[in-house]
Amino acid sequence: MLHVVLSLLLVVPGMMGNTVGYLGKSVNLSSESNSTLKIIKIEWSIFSNPTWIATYKDNVINTNRLQQFENRLRLNSSTGDLEIRDLKKTDEMEYSVLIKYDTETQHNNKVKLIVTGKDINYNHYSY
Ligand SMILES: *[C@@H]1O[C@H](CO)[C@@H](O)[C@H](O)[C@H]1NC(C)=O
Ligand SMILES: *[C@@H]1O[C@H](CO)[C@@H](O)[C@H](O)[C@H]1NC(C)=O
Ligand SMILES: *[C@@H]1O[C@H](CO)[C@@H](O)[C@H](O)[C@H]1NC(C)=O
């Protein structure tokens, strides 16, 4: 089911608020946090049973929580944005972020990342 959905999304990358990245390049996943508030905690995760991939807590950034993303993540602790470098096809999935501000309010965002590469048939774009 998820595979079918992702295949459909591949045909129309960039639509429905998806983020598009290119194989071997970098991409920024936006937390869409409120820039006027100070962030004290960030948790980026994947899957519905959350697996943390990057966190910021007590002023400590941890971006090496999962081997799949080892040395490829950079977390911006002031914006909550997550940069993924050297993109792989297996990075194509849905990411969630939970932001906690010093006002004790929270913010959630989900980002669907689409990874495209040289092998994409560009005829799919015009229809
Ligand atoms: C991602 O954002 C950082 C700033 O947080 C910037 O330095 C970097 O160039 C951005 N990367 C891409 C691929 O836009
Ligand atoms: C950001 O936070 C400020 C202060 O709480 C609030 O006034 C403003 O409406 C928020 N902006 C957005 C886009 O949520
Ligand atoms: C975080 O993002 C902001 C806004 O894009 C940028 O000014 C700042 O340099 C970034 N910080 C890091 C550590 O990349």
pLDDT surpasses 70 at 3:
no
Atom of ligand 3 nearest to the CA of 78: 1
Contact 40, 101 (CB under 8 A): yes
* Domain boundaries, given as residue ranges, for the chain: 2-118
What pLDDT does 14 receive? Answer: 43
Q: What is the pLDDT of residues 19-33, one digit of tens each?
A: 999 999 999 999 999
Strand order in the sheet with 27-29: 27-29, 82-84, 73-75
Atom of ligand 3 nearest to the CA of 74: 14
pLDDT surpasses 50 at 89:
yes
The structure's pTM equals: 0.83
* Binding site membership of 76 for ligand 1 (Cβ less than 6 Å): yes
Domain 2-118 -> CATH class: mainly beta
Using pLDDT thresholds of 50, 70 and 90, give the confidence band for residue 7.
low
